[in-house]
């Protein structure tokens, strides 16, 4: 029994620093290499010591796959490649490769320039890291080496996000990264083949959540924003640079147009331009509506949404501001929050998941005083609303994906342990498959039933019917022929659990054997009243009755043909015992097929057979 091993170096019963190492058919594949937004110490990166005590790590990993550009999935990549010494291949989609270094550089500036983290990676590290990346297209089968192949599928979530199907021989697994089974205003829904992998590794951020209708959430969002600005308050919406930001911008832009609202909407400086550039560059990754209207106008060229300047924080009057990052753990969104949080007329709308340890998570759990450091304490009087516009699959979406690809086993990552347990039980109950949820550093061992596949060359299986040969048709006996020519001898050859049919001469050459013939001798009882001549004649009659439709003829004194079976009788020796005459007859098979029924007829149980 073969097995697949999977160990999370991050995101095991936790959200953040996604990094899972899977051993499949002797290959080690690392899936994502993210950072944890809730930690500032060495826990912000995955624990690579599970691979080896120290780098370089290239001998331990055959390839690294990045599912999308969010920092909890790619934030540790330059650290792993340039500072820990991984020099192997890295795979991601084209949009991810384009956007990833921009977000990494923005975050590097925050960590180094504002927080003084001297052990962080440098700008040059990011550039050198991205040179190692091999971009892939959706549905493109990429041959990593002679045995390992990967294939990317559309995951929704953010532009460029992909699920990956990895295969070695007849063993395979699917890694989802983050995905969304519901289409939105600018992206389509995730989709994958019914590929029936041995293991599905799926995120479980919303393992116990069933969202209400998207329409209801949008109406609720617009209502709360409108009520706040009508009373003169300010609305802060922390978002990631690409993804939900564009979704909510399209929603507010449409509402502002319809209601003729003049209150300003701002977006973090520079990000609007970057978003427009990449959405235009990778328009094929958006949904059908965006693609259809893009020729007439770019939906991301907003007329009501302007670039934000830090000086606007002190401006009086209502406004709506989209600011990064999305979890209030640093940057402009945290700076604005510190200024606006004491005012009860203002509103904070959290549209996505917040990792434990971030300011966003503390606010959502109801803390009224948040200590950033020994000198800074924030009084939280601002109205706080959590309206999930997260692009993660909810519980029903996860179940939908499992139905779609029909895995033999499921493993949950990127979620909270207590919620995973609930979803695990539901998966086992509905799909009757084993479900795993290993913690960080814990290895899940998934048994896989060993399969042996037979590869038969296409021309080897070509057959000609009896009608094409001008012969009578037979359903009981057919001959495998190569290239529609004369019958050939075929042999089954097994190599590394791969079974294939090849020509006899090729097999003997590969195995280093000399070709030889086996001759069989049987004793057949013939009544003393029958001569050998009569025996041949009667044998032909009996065969004709037993195998109706077969062509049987005697070539000469010692040869018979039954269909394409050529029996050459080598020796005939008659013995007289009382009234029974015995004939010892040996034959050899000139063709590759001798039907069992014929063999049984020629060597009855009463006969003694041996190798001659």
Would you state the structure tokens that stand for residue 469, as one six-digit string? 């040969």
Query: Does the pLDDT value for residue 286 go beyond 90?
Result: no
pLDDT in tens, 2-26: 899 999 999 999 998 999 999 999 9
pLDDT in tens, 470-505: 444 444 334 444 444 444 456 666 665 566 777 767
CA distance 415 to 434: 18
Say whether 46 sits in a helix, a strand or coil. Answer: coil
Name the residue with higher pLDDT: 544 or 215: 215
User: What is the average per-residue pLDDT within 57-69?
Assistant: 96
pLDDT for res 481: 42
- Kindly indicate the confidence band of residue 554, based on its pLDDT and cuts at 50, 70 and 90: low
Please tell me the CATH code under which domain 214-386 is placed: 3.40.50.10890
pLDDT for res 556: 55
pLDDT in tens, 596-612: 333 333 433 333 333 22
Of 3, 147, 203, 530, the catalytic one is: 203
Domain chopping of the chain, boundaries: 3-210+391-447, 214-386, 452-466+488-515, 519-602
**Among 50, 35, 69, 81, residue whose Cα is nearest residue 160:** 69
Give yes or no for a contact between 305 and 344, defined as CB atoms under 8 angstroms apart.
Answer: no
* Most confident of the ranges 90-104, 116-130, 348-362: 90-104
Percentage of residues of the chain with pLDDT beyond 70: 72
Say whether 17 sits in a helix, a strand or coil. Answer: coil
Main-chain phi, psi angles of 179, to 5 degrees: -150, 165
Main-chain phi, psi angles of 407, to 5 degrees: -75, 160
- Kindly indicate the confidence band of residue 120, based on its pLDDT and cuts at 50, 70 and 90: confident
Would you state the structure tokens that stand for residue 123, as one six-digit string? 């700008």
Query: Does the pLDDT value for residue 575 go beyond 90?
Result: no
Is the previous residue joined to 217 through a cis bond, with omega within 30 degrees of 0?
no
pLDDT in tens, 239-285: 877 777 888 888 999 999 999 999 999 988 665 567 667 877 888 89
* 273 a catalytic residue: no
User: What is the average per-residue pLDDT within 378-390?
Assistant: 90
457-481 as b/e: b if 16+ CB within 10 A = eeebeeeeebeeeeeeebeebebbb
Query: Does the pLDDT value for residue 309 go beyond 70?
Result: yes
Query: Residue 147 contacts by C-beta under 8 Å, 6 or more apart in sequence?
Result: 25, 26, 27, 168, 169
- Kindly indicate the confidence band of residue 459, based on its pLDDT and cuts at 50, 70 and 90: very low
pLDDT for res 391: 83
Is the previous residue joined to 56 through a cis bond, with omega within 30 degrees of 0?
yes
Single pTM value for the model: 0.69
pLDDT for res 515: 64
Give yes or no for a contact between 448 and 1, defined as CB atoms under 8 angstroms apart.
Answer: yes
pLDDT for res 326: 85
Largest CA distance in the chain: 126
pLDDT for res 174: 98
Query: Does the pLDDT value for residue 531 go beyond 80?
Result: no
**H-only helix segments in 317-379:** 331-340, 359-364
Q: Would you say domain 519-602 falls under CATH 3.30.310?
A: yes
Q: In whole numbers, what is the pLDDT of the chain averaged over residues?
A: 80
pLDDT for res 292: 78
Say whether 566 sits in a helix, a strand or coil. Answer: strand
The CATH class of the 3-210+391-447 domain is: alpha beta
pLDDT for res 607: 32
pLDDT for res 564: 45
Q: Lowest-pLDDT range, 421-430, 484-493, 578-587? A: 578-587
């Amino acid at each position: 029994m073969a097995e697949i091993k999977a160990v999370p170096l991050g995101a095991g019963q936790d959200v953040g620093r996604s990094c899972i190492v899977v051993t499949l058919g002797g290959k080690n594949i690392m899936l994502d290499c993210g950072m944890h937004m809730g930690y500032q110490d060495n826990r912000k990166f995955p624990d690579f010591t599970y691979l080896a005590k120290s780098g370089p790590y290239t001998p331990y990993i055959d390839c690294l796959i990045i599912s999308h550009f969010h920092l909890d999935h790619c934030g540790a990549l330059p650290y792993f490649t340039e500072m820990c010494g991984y020099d192997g291949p890295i795979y991601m989609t084209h949009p991810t490769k384009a956007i990833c270094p921009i977000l990494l550089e923005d975050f590097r500036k925050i960590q180094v320039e504002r927080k003084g983290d001297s052990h962080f990676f440098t700008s040059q590290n990011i550039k050198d890291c991205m040179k190692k990346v091999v971009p892939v297209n959706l549905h493109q089968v990429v041959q990593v080496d002679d045995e390992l192949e990967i294939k990317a599928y559309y995951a929704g979530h953010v532009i460029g996000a992909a699920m990956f199907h990895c295969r070695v021989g007849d063993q395979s697994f699917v890694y989802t990264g983050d995905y969304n089974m519901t289409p939105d205003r600018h992206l389509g829904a995730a989709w994958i083949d019914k590929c029936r992998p041995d293991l599905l590794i799926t995120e479980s951020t919303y393992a116990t959540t069933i969202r209400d209708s998207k329409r209801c959430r949008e109406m609720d969002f617009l209502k709360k924003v409108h009520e706040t600005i009508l009373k003169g308050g300010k609305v802060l919406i922390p978002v990631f640079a690409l993804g939900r930001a564009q979704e909510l911008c399209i929603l507010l832009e449409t509402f502002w147009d319809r209601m003729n609202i003049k209150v300003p909407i701002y977006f973090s400086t520079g990000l609007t331009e970057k978003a427009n550039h990449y959405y235009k560059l990778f328009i094929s990754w958006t949904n059908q509506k965006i693609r259809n209207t893009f020729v007439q106008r770019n939906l991301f060229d907003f007329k009501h949404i302007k670039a934000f300047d830090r000086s606007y924080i002190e401006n009086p009057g209502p406004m709506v501001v989209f600011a990064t990052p999305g979890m209030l753990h640093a940057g402009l969104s945290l700076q604005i929050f510190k200024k606006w949080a004491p005012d009860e007329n203002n509103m904070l709308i959290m549209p996505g998941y917040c990792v434990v340890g971030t300011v966003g998570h503390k606010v959502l759990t109801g803390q009224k005083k948040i200590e950033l450091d020994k000198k800074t304490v924030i009084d939280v009087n601002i109205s706080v609303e959590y309206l999930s516009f997260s692009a993660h699959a909810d519980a029903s979406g996860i179940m939908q994906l499992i139905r779609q690809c029909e895995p033999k086993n499921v493993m949950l990552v990127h979620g909270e342990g207590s919620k995973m347990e609930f979803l695990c039980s539901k998966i086992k109950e509905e799909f009757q498959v084993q479900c795993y949820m290993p913690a960080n550093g814990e290895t899940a061992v998934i048994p896989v039933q060993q399969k042996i596949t037979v590869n038969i060359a296409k021309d080897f299986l070509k057959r000609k019917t009896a009608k094409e040969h001008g012969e009578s048709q037979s359903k009981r006996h057919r001959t495998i022929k190569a290239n529609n020519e004369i019958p050939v001898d075929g042999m089954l050859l097994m190599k590394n659990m791969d079974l294939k049919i090849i020509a006899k001469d090729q097999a003997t050459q590969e195995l280093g054997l000399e070709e030889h013939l086996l001759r069989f001798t049987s004793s057949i009882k013939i009544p003393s009243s029958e001569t050998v001549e009569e025996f041949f004649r009667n044998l032909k009659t009996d065969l004709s009755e037993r195998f109706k439709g077969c062509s049987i003829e005697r070539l000469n004194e010692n040869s018979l043909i039954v269909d394409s079976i050529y029996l050459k009788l080598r020796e005939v020796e008659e013995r007289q015992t009382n009234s029974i005459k015995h004939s010892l007859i040996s034959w050899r098979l000139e063709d590759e097929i001798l039907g069992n029924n014929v063999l049984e007829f020629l060597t009855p149980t009463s006969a003694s057979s041996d190798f001659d």
